[in-house]
Amino acid sequence: MRIERDYDFVVDESTASKTRVDAFIASKVTELSRSALTGDDCQILINGKKAKKSDKVSPGDSVNLHFVADVFEKVEAEDIPLDILYEDQDMLVINKAQGMVVHPGAGNPNGTIVNALAFRYGQAFIEEMADECDVSRPGIVHRLDKDTSGVMVIALNARAHTSLSEQFQSHDIEKIYYAFCDGIFQKHEDDIECLLARDKNDRKLFAPVQQQRSFIIQGGLSAKRTAEIENEVYNDPKYRLGGSADRHQEGKYSKSHYEVVRQLPQAALVKVQIFTGRTHQIRVHMKYIGHPVIGDVMYNNRLSRFPGASLMLHSSILEINHPTTGERMRFEAPLPERFSELEQKLRES
């Protein structure tokens, strides 16, 4: 299915000066990702002049987008079982399995949640979502990383998609995760706040922006000195976290609150509530304070300490307003077996 759409915006005062135009458009049209603007048929105008998606905008600029895309051409309906926590005519809530990708993409054309949705709800669902809301990910209003398990909500019609998307965008939801994190925590609980931007050397990674060292490193392994831990966290040559994000980017505000549930000899089970929904937020935040998530191959360079461990991050609780009734609803996915198995190993070590 081929679609064409036109969008017109005026950059408001709340937008930082010299913001990339693709980032600005993605913030205004939640169903469009920045990568979706790459097609040759997509045209961006800034103040009436043709622009590239990397060009910058400032308050007062006019932005016009002519968007063309072939929608869902490669999505195949697949009979993939889903662990369903709740379902009605407006939304589906699942307990996503670790290792399952949310939507098709490079390297993952099949076996995704979207493939399962195409089978479960049929072509009518695909066509409604393509025509009315998400042009590349039918029903998807938020994502979990491939190796993160847990609660995830999916919209089943355009109206529900709009309502749920607005709740996630305004953070009018409650999201609680559990993670096993490396090291001995000196603080039982605390807030983590910083600006996050893409790493300037590796666009797949995120990092606190330059000059974000104000957070006190808590300590970590074998009573290491603070200077050693700071060097490991901030100057890690492989992951470059902390002070190495693109200094030309403003970054996006992020906030998490963690609480240590059980401190074990080498690691801790940590409850994390996130108040913003930035990509890799918990993984970056825990690395930021010197306690990376166990099994995190992207942000943890201590993988040899826990051989064989997969990503120990689980979305446990999601609280949202029902898109039709407005009723506040709470969904919970119990901790998976990999958590109890790792805890047993830690207690025996």
DSSP H stretches of helix in 86-224: 113-132, 158-170
Rounded Cα–Cα distance for residues 126 and 118 (Å): 7
Give yes or no: 90 in active site. Answer: no
Written as one string, the DSSP assignment of 233-281 is HHS-TTT--SS-B-TTS--EEEEEEEEEEEE-SSEEEEEEEESS--TTH
Residue 214 dihedral angles phi and psi, to the nearest 5°: -70, -20
Classify residue 252 as left (phi > 0), alpha (psi -120 to 50) or beta. beta
Beta bridge partners of 129: none
Residue 103 and residue 137 in contact, taking contact as beta carbons nearer than 8 Å: yes
Identify the helix (H) or strand (E) that includes residue 70: strand 62-70
Given 145, 182, 199, 296, the catalytic residue: 145
Residue 285 and residue 269 in contact, taking contact as beta carbons nearer than 8 Å: no
What Å distances lie between residue 3 and 36, 51, 82, 136, 161, CA to CA? Answer: 13, 21, 30, 11, 19
User: 208: closest CA among 233, 225, 226?
Assistant: 233
Residues involved in catalysis: 145
